Amino acid sequence: MNLWLWILASYLLGAMPSSYLAARLFAGINLSEHGSKNLGATNLYRVLGWKYAIPVGLFDLAKGAIPVAVFGPLAGTEPWIPVLLGLAAVVGHVYSVFVRFRGGKGVATAAGAVLALAPAALGISTILWIVVLAATGYVSLASMLGAIAFPLAVRFTNPGDHYSFGVGVALAAFILVTHRSNIHRLVAGQENRFGNRERAG
């Protein structure tokens, strides 16, 4: 199978709009019209609760891990190929062709990709994510700091893993871009804290 087809397959898997579909199928609502209007698991939690957010979040994680762990070895032997496929999945999640190139912020799918690439570094990044979320209540801040910490954690746990470090830097920059509206709300003191719920009518 041609590498470009594997890239396309990774993008399309990442582009599966899981939060949007869950809200449509199980609650009959358009998630882009509720809560933060973001098509991600965090907003799904705010609108519909854990019952839907947890399985969707796990699926989003798998959307990043499968291209790296499964598609990567099938696509070729070059060490950069799984990295490229993981990035394609993240781009698909954020810019989904199925919902007019909208999507989530890419955090869960990026976490799935780096879980398959550098699990120890992701563990360190996840600990920081939990600490920041517990201390501040801001999922967005925890996600951004966790993303920034990942490439640093790669340097600490496996200094020779240049590909994981490189993808970590790229994903951190990408996640900062997708969170630019959150940054503005954080600066203005208007960001929603985790646990605040909006019930869909």
Concatenate the DSSP letters of all residues of 9-77 into one string. HHHHHHH--HHHHHHHHHH---GGGSTT---SHHHHHHHH-HHHHHHHHHHHHHHHHHIIIIIHHHH-S
Residue type present at position 94 = V
Are 23 and 47 in contact by the 8 Å Cβ rule? The answer is yes
Residues in Cβ contact with 101 at an 8 Å cutoff, skipping those fewer than 6 apart: 95
Distance of CA 104 to the CA centre of its chain: 7
Confidence label for 198 from pLDDT (cuts 50, 70 and 90): low
Q: What is the pLDDT of residue 200?
A: 53
Place of tokens 């007019």: 100
Domain boundaries, the chain: 3-188
Confidence label for 30 from pLDDT (cuts 50, 70 and 90): very high
Confidence label for 132 from pLDDT (cuts 50, 70 and 90): very high
For residue 96, the cross-strand partners are 102
Distance CA 57, CA 39 (A): 11
Residues in Cβ contact with 82 at an 8 Å cutoff, skipping those fewer than 6 apart: 67, 68, 69, 71, 72, 73, 75, 116, 117
142: pLDDT strictly greater than 70: yes
Question: pTM of this prediction?
Answer: 0.89
99: pLDDT strictly greater than 90: yes
Are 121 and 114 in contact by the 8 Å Cβ rule? The answer is yes
Whole-number mean pLDDT of the chain?
Answer: 93
Q: What is the pLDDT of residue 201?
A: 44
φ, ψ dihedrals at 175, nearest 5°: -70, -35
199: pLDDT strictly greater than 60: no
Confidence label for 193 from pLDDT (cuts 50, 70 and 90): confident
φ, ψ dihedrals at 146, nearest 5°: -65, -40
Distance CA 80, CA 9 (A): 17
For residue 154, the cross-strand partners are none
61: pLDDT strictly greater than 90: yes
Residues in Cβ contact with 166 at an 8 Å cutoff, skipping those fewer than 6 apart: 83, 151
